[in-house]
Every structure is written in C-alpha cells, then in structure tokens.
C-alpha cells in the first residue's frame, strides 16, 4: 500500500469515528490534491486556536481554491463550525477532512472532480 493510500485509509477511518458524514470518494480527492503537505505532521493538521492559520484557510482555501465571495465573517463562522464538528478537544484536525467538510458545507465538492 502506498503512503498516499495509507493516509486516505487513516482519514476515512477518522471521519467514520467522528461521524463527519464525508464520502470516501471526497476524502480521496481532497487528500490527493493536498500533495506533500499530508506527510508533514505540522502541515497535515489545522490548528483552530491559531488565528493566522484560520485566516489562511479562509483566504487561500475558501476564497482561493473554492472561489467563495462571501463576507469574511460568514466564512469565519463556517470555519468555526468545522472546528466544533471535528471536536474542540481533538488535537488532530486533519487538513484533508477539514477541507472536505468546508467544501461539502458550501456545496463545492465539484471543485475536486
């Protein structure tokens, strides 16, 4: 099994455990597009307590990748919703799952087709 397949399997298991409601297909597509960042322990996760990181998620992912034109406060609220859904006390908020939840929340799964 390749390292990428191992990550996809791991993220799929975590998604099921946390009851995130993400399809294995979406997890696979998002993970594949993240490239080498998934192999770096720091880059692999999103820190909901780091305001700078959350701003980057908003600007680079939601506005950049997904092309959303919504007000910053609405995008920030969506990011906080995902933080809560993944569990405030959960220190391993995997970026692939975080991005998949945001894409699903805004109906932008097609970005990964």
Q: In this structure, is residue 11 part of a structural domain?
A: yes
Q: In this structure, is residue 113 part of a structural domain?
A: no
Q: Where are the alpha helices (DSSP H) in the chain?
A: 3-18, 24-33, 51-56, 72-86, 95-105
Q: Distance between CA 109 and CA 74 in Å, rounded?
A: 19
Q: In this structure, is residue 22 part of a structural domain?
A: yes
Task: Grade residue 89 by pLDDT with cuts at 50, 70 and 90.
Answer: confident
98-113 per-position pLDDT tens digit: 999 999 999 999 999 9
24-75 per-position pLDDT tens digit: 999 999 999 999 999 999 999 999 999 999 999 999 999 999 999 999 999 9
Q: In this structure, is residue 27 part of a structural domain?
A: yes
Mean pLDDT of 9-36: 97
Q: In this structure, is residue 112 part of a structural domain?
A: no
62: exposed, middle or buried (C-beta count within 10 Å: 0-12, 13-18, 19+)? Answer: buried
Secondary element (H or E) of residue 36: none
CATH number at residue 62: 1.10.238.120
Which residue range(s) make up the domain with 47?
A: 3-107
- Give the count of domains, the chain: 1
Q: Distance between CA 16 and CA 34 in Å, rounded?
A: 20
Whether the pLDDT of residue 88 is over 90: the answer is no
């Amino acid at each position: 099994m390749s390292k990428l397949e191992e990550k996809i399997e791991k993220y799929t298991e975590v998604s099921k455990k946390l009851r995130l409601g993400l399809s294995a297909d979406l997890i696979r597509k998002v993970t594949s597009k993240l490239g080498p960042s998934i192999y770096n322990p720091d880059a692999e996760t999103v820190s909901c307590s780091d305001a700078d990181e959350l701003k980057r998620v908003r600007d680079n992912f939601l506005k950049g990748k997904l092309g959303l034109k919504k007000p910053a406060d609405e995008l920030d609220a969506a990011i906080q919703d995902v933080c809560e859904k993944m569990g405030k006390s959960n220190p391993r908020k995997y970026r692939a799952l975080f991005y998949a939840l945001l894409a699903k929340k805004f109906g932008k799964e097609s970005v990964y087709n």
